[in-house]
Amino acid sequence: MSTDLGRQGLRFAIIGGGMAGILAAIRLRQAGEKFTVYEKAGRLGGTWRENRYPGLTCDVPAHAYTYSFEPYAEWDAYYAKGGEIQTYFEKTAEKYGIMPHVRFDSEVVSAVWDEEKGFWRLGLVTGEEVVAEVVIAASGVLHHPKLPDLEGLDSFKGRAFHSARWQDDAPVDGARVGIIGNGSTGVQIVTALSTRASRLVHFQRSPQWIMPVPYFQYSEEEKEAFRREPALIDEIRNNKEYWDNIYRFTHAITDTHGPEIAAIEAACLDNLENSIRDPELKEKLRPNYRAACKRLIYSWSYYDAVQRPIVEVERDRIARIEPEGVRLADGRLHELDTLVLATGFHADRFIRPTTVLGRDGVSLDDIWSVRPTAYYAVTIPGFPNFFMLNGPTGPVGNFSLIDIAERQWGYIDQLLGLLRSGEAQTIEPRAEAHAGYEERRIAAARTTIFGSGCNSWYLDATGVPSSWPWSYEAFADAMSAPVMEDYAMTVEAELVAR
Ligand code: NAP
* pLDDT at residue number 359: 97
Average pLDDT, the chain: 95
Residues 131 and 170 in one domain: no
Residues 479 and 424 in one domain: yes
Assess if residue 480 is contained within a domain.
Answer: yes
Assess if residue 89 is contained within a domain.
Answer: no
**What's the structural domain count of the chain?**
2
Q: Is the dihedral of CA 398, 413, 380, 50 positive or negative?
A: positive
Assess if residue 285 is contained within a domain.
Answer: yes
* 16 within ligand 1 shell (Cβ under 6 A): no
pLDDT of residue 483 exceeding 60, the answer is: yes
Measuring from atom 31 of ligand 1, which residue has the nearest CA? 184
- What pLDDT digit, counting tens, does each position of 408-417 carry? 999 999 999 9
Assess if residue 78 is contained within a domain.
Answer: no
Q: Over pLDDT 90: what percentage of the chain?
A: 95
* pLDDT at residue number 398: 86
Ligand 1 centroid from CA 455, angstroms: 10
Residues 450 and 490 in one domain: yes
pLDDT of residue 494 exceeding 70, the answer is: no
Ligand 1 centroid from CA 54, angstroms: 16
Could you report how far apart the first and last alpha carbons of the chain are, in Å?
19
Ligand 1 centroid from CA 85, angstroms: 21
Ligand 1 centroid from CA 182, angstroms: 6
Measuring from atom 25 of ligand 1, which residue has the nearest CA? 183
* 186 within ligand 1 shell (Cβ under 6 A): yes
Contact 68, 82 (CB under 8 A): no
Chosen domain end from 311, 341, 371? 341
Ligand 1 centroid from CA 343, angstroms: 5
H or E segment and range at residue 91: helix 82-95
Residues 124 and 157 in one domain: no
Ligand 1: atom nearest CA of 295 is 32
Assess if residue 48 is contained within a domain.
Answer: no
Contact 397, 250 (CB under 8 A): yes
* 452 within ligand 1 shell (Cβ under 6 A): no
Measured between alpha carbons, how far is 484 from 60 in angstroms, rounded to an integer?
33
Residues 233 and 359 in one domain: no
* pLDDT at residue number 77: 98
Q: Which of 59, 60, 65, 142 most suits a substitution to test ligand 1, by most atoms within 8 Å of the C-beta? A: 142
Range of the domain at 444: 5-42+104-143+347-497
Chosen domain end from 281, 311, 341? 341
Residues 373 and 335 in one domain: no
Phi, psi torsion values for 306, nearest 5 degrees = -75, -10
Alpha helices in 138-258 (DSSP H): 184-193, 220-228, 231-237, 240-254
* pLDDT at residue number 9: 86
> Which one, of 349, 347, 346, 354, lies nearest residue 38 by Cα?
354
Ligand 1: atom nearest CA of 57 is 40
Measuring from atom 37 of ligand 1, which residue has the nearest CA? 184
Residues 20 and 139 in one domain: yes
pLDDT of residue 209 exceeding 80, the answer is: yes
* pLDDT at residue number 417: 96
* pLDDT at residue number 495: 52
Measuring from atom 28 of ligand 1, which residue has the nearest CA? 344
Q: Which of 147, 205, 249 most suits a substitution to test ligand 1, by most atoms within 8 Å of the C-beta? A: 205
Residues 283 and 384 in one domain: no
Ligand 1: atom nearest CA of 150 is 18
Ligand 1 centroid from CA 135, angstroms: 31
pTM summary value: 0.96
Assess if residue 70 is contained within a domain.
Answer: no
Ligand 1 centroid from CA 204, angstroms: 10
pLDDT of residue 256 exceeding 50, the answer is: yes
> Which one, of 363, 361, 359, 391, lies nearest residue 375 by Cα?
391
* pLDDT at residue number 493: 55
Measuring from atom 2 of ligand 1, which residue has the nearest CA? 183
* 343 within ligand 1 shell (Cβ under 6 A): yes
Measuring from atom 35 of ligand 1, which residue has the nearest CA? 184
Residues 353 and 334 in one domain: no
Chosen domain end from 341, 362, 388? 341
* 287 within ligand 1 shell (Cβ under 6 A): no
Assess if residue 167 is contained within a domain.
Answer: yes
Ligand 1: atom nearest CA of 79 is 40
* pLDDT at residue number 498: 45
Contact 158, 338 (CB under 8 A): yes
Ligand 1 centroid from CA 345, angstroms: 8
Mean pLDDT across the stretch 353-364? 97
**Bridge partner residues of 313 (DSSP):** 202
* 59 within ligand 1 shell (Cβ under 6 A): yes
Assess if residue 69 is contained within a domain.
Answer: no
Measured between alpha carbons, how far is 428 from 376 in angstroms, rounded to an integer?
12
pLDDT of residue 122 exceeding 90, the answer is: yes
Measuring from atom 10 of ligand 1, which residue has the nearest CA? 181
Residues 182 and 273 in one domain: yes
Ligand 1: atom nearest CA of 205 is 47
* pLDDT at residue number 7: 40
> CA angle 78-84-87, nearest 5°?
145
- What pLDDT digit, counting tens, does each position of 297-328 carry? 999 999 999 999 999 999 999 999 999 999 99
Residues 202 and 109 in one domain: no
Residues 418 and 376 in one domain: yes
Return the CATH number at 267.
3.50.50.60
- Band the pLDDT of 491: cuts 50, 70, 90: confident
What's 206's DSSP letter? S
More confident residue, 496 or 383: 383
pLDDT of residue 4 exceeding 70, the answer is: no
